[in-house]
């Protein structure tokens, strides 16, 4: 039986363990950090700078704060040279981000398997909503456990999903872990 990297049957980290991992390691971030090959996680400042995105070679944008006051990205804003996907998420513990885990992961996966593609995933600050969607992608398409996904992203960027998103990611972790057994 094959298991996920670092996954042990029946093992799911509790919220306290996850928060300890999140508090450790890298404690800062830039407007964008490459957290996976050709996948950049960042903030609204860079999201609004089309010239810098063009210089980086960004071909795809996933906005995890679509339609929010601070993150007005859209197909019209980026033009025809960038594939855009918007997730209208609130950074609140009671917001159900899990309903976007699979569609956002599919968008990320399609971008990552396109020749020459570079993807920028963002929200307002780039540490909670967008980070949660990147973690879900690593779990769904690369069979990482939640703990391993967090550790992988934290090698390159400080992230801190809110407690509600962490619980939703834990549920995904259990679901994916059971599917691997």
The tokens describing 24, both together, are 């450790």
In contact, 172 and 146? CB cutoff 8 Å = yes
For residue 179, CA distances in Å to 12, 98, 102, 108, 157 come to 14, 17, 15, 22, 29
Burial of residue 55 (CB within 10 Å: 0-12, 13-18, 19+) is: exposed
Residues contacting 174, CB < 8 A, separation 6+: 12
The tokens describing 31, both together, are 């407007």
The tokens describing 82, both together, are 């960038």
Instruction: Please tell me which residue in 14, 29, 71, 123 is annotated as part of the active site.
Output: 123
For the chain, the distance separating the N- and C-terminal CA atoms, rounded to the nearest angstrom, is: 7
The DSSP call for residue 156 is T
Active-site residue, 71 included: no
Catalytic residues: 123
């Amino acid at each position: 039986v094959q298991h996920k990297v670092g996954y042990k049957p029946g093992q799911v980290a509790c919220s306290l363990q996850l928060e300890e991992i999140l508090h450790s390691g890298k404690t800062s971030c830039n407007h964008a950090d490459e957290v996976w090959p050709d996948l950049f996680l960042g903030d609204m400042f860079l999201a609004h700078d089309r010239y810098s995105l063009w210089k980086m070679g960004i071909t795809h944008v996933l906005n995890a704060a679509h339609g929010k006051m601070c993150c007005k990205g859209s197909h019209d804003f980026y033009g025809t040279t960038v594939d855009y996907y918007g997730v209208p998420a609130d950074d609140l513990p009671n917001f159900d981000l899990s309903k976007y885990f699979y569609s956002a992961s599919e968008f990320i996966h399609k971008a990552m398997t396109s020749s020459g593609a570079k993807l920028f995933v963002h929200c307002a600050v780039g540490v909670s909503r967008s980070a949660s969607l990147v973690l879900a992608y690593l779990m769904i398409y690369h069979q990482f456990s939640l703990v391993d996904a967090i550790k992988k992203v934290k090698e390159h960027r400080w992230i801190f999903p809110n407690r509600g998103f962490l619980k939703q990611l834990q549920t995904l972790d259990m679901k994916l872990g059971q599917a691997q057994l």
